Structure 1
Amino acid sequence: MKKEILKQQTIYVHMDNVINNVVTSGITFCDFMNSVMTPPQNVLLLKHQFPEASFNAHTSFHYSDVNDLPELKKAPVSQYADFCWVDFEDIDLVNQLTAQEVAELLYLAHTGRHLRSPFYYKLQNNFVYLTKDDGRYNKVYYRNLDQFYHVLGYAIWKNMMQMTTEKIVLPFMKRKKIADIPVDLLKKFATYFREGACISFDDAVKTRNQIEVPIGLNLKDDMQELLRSSDLIEYGHVVAHLIYDMKQNEWSVIDG
């Protein structure tokens, strides 16, 4: 059977399980907001260009509360260059941040590195979101890494939807329904994610009944270098394949 070579967007994942941060490429802020298990209710904007944000005089940071977040979700953050934020529970607690804690947040946004724990008792934050080019190079701290796997599952699902519907040209043609990818299946790649792995939709192969997406290791260029270019992400070798059976609507993994 003739195989069709597909060109889609590769997802790169590098996970640090010690401090629970994940560097990704191919996952956007919109993907995050559409899929995270417990979406942030309020965000303290450390770097941004969002015009509708409110100003907090105590920290000199802007912020968006639950009423503004729908607009922030639709904002063109990929055009903001730097886009960094941390969620918080209550603005009254933001007003209790010390000068040292404000300085730590500034350092975090400026360097992408934490001085102490990035999870603040006063903020009760679940995330720290840091990017200089949203979707190309994102670094997110997760209090609970299960949240990340839901985000990743959504990003994979979205790419699969694009693959299965890209040839639909008439409105009456039926869209294929893609099943959600089980989180437990994604966790099987945790060892690869700790090394830095590509879920390579650029090299995905589609047959009549299934799509095979290779999982690659040994990134050929440093992620910081990729941040300065628009080159495709390339990897050294394939260690596994993520399989979607379009007939059975089932996901599976095979090694090699």
Structure 2
Amino acid sequence: MARNDDFKDLIYILVNTRDHYVISNGITFQEFTKSLQEPLANLLLLKHHYEETEFHLHTQLDYILKEQVDSFMKKGVHRSGEFCWVDFEDAFSLDTIEGKELAELLYLGHMKKHLSLPFFQKLNNRFAYLTEDDGWYNKIYYRYWNDFYDSLGGILAAKLGDVKLDRSFIGFRKKKIYPPVDRNVLHQLNSVLTEGLVFSFYYFNQSRGQIEIPFWVVGDFSDMDEMVDNYLETAENEAHGYLIFDRKVKEWQLIFNK
């Protein structure tokens, strides 16, 4: 089966509220980064294939300064192979990391799971980002859930902007920009985000007044090939609900099918 290039019109989200992480398919590092309301800080790299990094002697780990993140994204190194990091505020804080914390960081990057929740007081990190195939299977730990809702709301709006909704009379695509989905709208999905949800931009509906993005509850998956198979089967049935953008008032709303 083809990878996420063939399924770029879907987003899978599975939320684990107890352990503060989200598993996703269809969201890349670049999309995640651009969606954040507060820009990323410096990145401590646990697994990567990037050569133009800084090296921290005390931890024996590479890192990227926040002013280097844009250049890193443009080079696209994160798209190939393992890419795991935690953010940190101040390079001096890396000097204070002790053996136990370093062991937890190395375990996090190697096993793609935590020993204890990966939010380190000395680093003051907001995220832990873990993937072996960016965009296909991502696992992100969020210290603050508002970061997750704001990120998802921005990504959904950006994805809709990339869909070919309208064309001009000579056939050129019109690039549309939509406001992020408000976190209060996304909160209505809390009960199903923990079950595994797919938003489909392939099966969107549009009219003069609104755009509807259908979603299906597909289940809890760690294997994205299985998730896609289950989604394709489930999508043959009526959607469980719709995320709706009202073109006139330029606002989002959510409707569940009964």
Any conservation in 2 of the 1:26–1:135 contact (CA below 8 Å)?
Answer: yes
Match of 1:186 in 2: 186
Any conservation in 2 of the 1:54–1:63 contact (CA below 8 Å)?
Answer: yes
Match of 2:53 in 1: 53
RMSD: 2.6
Are positions 1:155 and 2:155 aligned together? yes
Which shifted more, 54-63 or 162-171?
162-171
SS of match in other structure, 1:223 = coil
Which shifted more, 72-81 or 191-200?
72-81
Match of 1:243 in 2: 244
Any conservation in 2 of the 1:214–1:241 contact (CA below 8 Å)?
Answer: yes
Q: Distance in 2 between matches of 1:168 and 1:50?
A: 41
Alignment-mate amino acid for residue 121 of structure 1: Q
For structure 1, list consecutive stretches of 5 or more residues without a partner in the other structure: 1-6
SS of match in other structure, 2:185 = helix
SS of match in other structure, 2:216 = strand
Q: Distance in 2 between matches of 1:19 and 1:180?
A: 26
Task: Write the deviation string for residues 73-101 of structure 1: whole angstroms up to 9, x where unpaired.
Answer: 32314532110000112222212212222
Task: Write the deviation string for residues 43-62 of structure 1: whole angstroms up to 9, x where unpaired.
Answer: 10001112211111111110
Task: Write the deviation string for residues 8-49 of structure 1: whole angstroms up to 9, x where unpaired.
Answer: 611111111112111111111111211213222211000111
Distance 1:36 1:169, change over 3 A: farther
Alignment of 1:5-44 (within 5 A): 9-44=9-44
For structure 2, list consecutive stretches of 5 or more residues without a partner in the other structure: 1-6
Alignment-mate amino acid for residue 35 of structure 2: S
Alignment-mate amino acid for residue 193 of structure 1: L
Any conservation in 2 of the 1:216–1:235 contact (CA below 8 Å)?
Answer: no
Q: Distance in 1 between matches of 2:174 and 2:136?
A: 32
Residue 203 (structure 1) shift:
2.2
Q: Distance in 1 between matches of 2:132 and 2:173?
A: 39
Distance 1:248 1:52, change over 3 A: same
Q: Which has the higher contact order (CA 8 A, sep 6+)?
A: 1
Match of 1:106 in 2: 106
Residue 118 (structure 1) shift:
0.5
Match of 2:141 in 1: 141
SS of match in other structure, 1:243 = strand
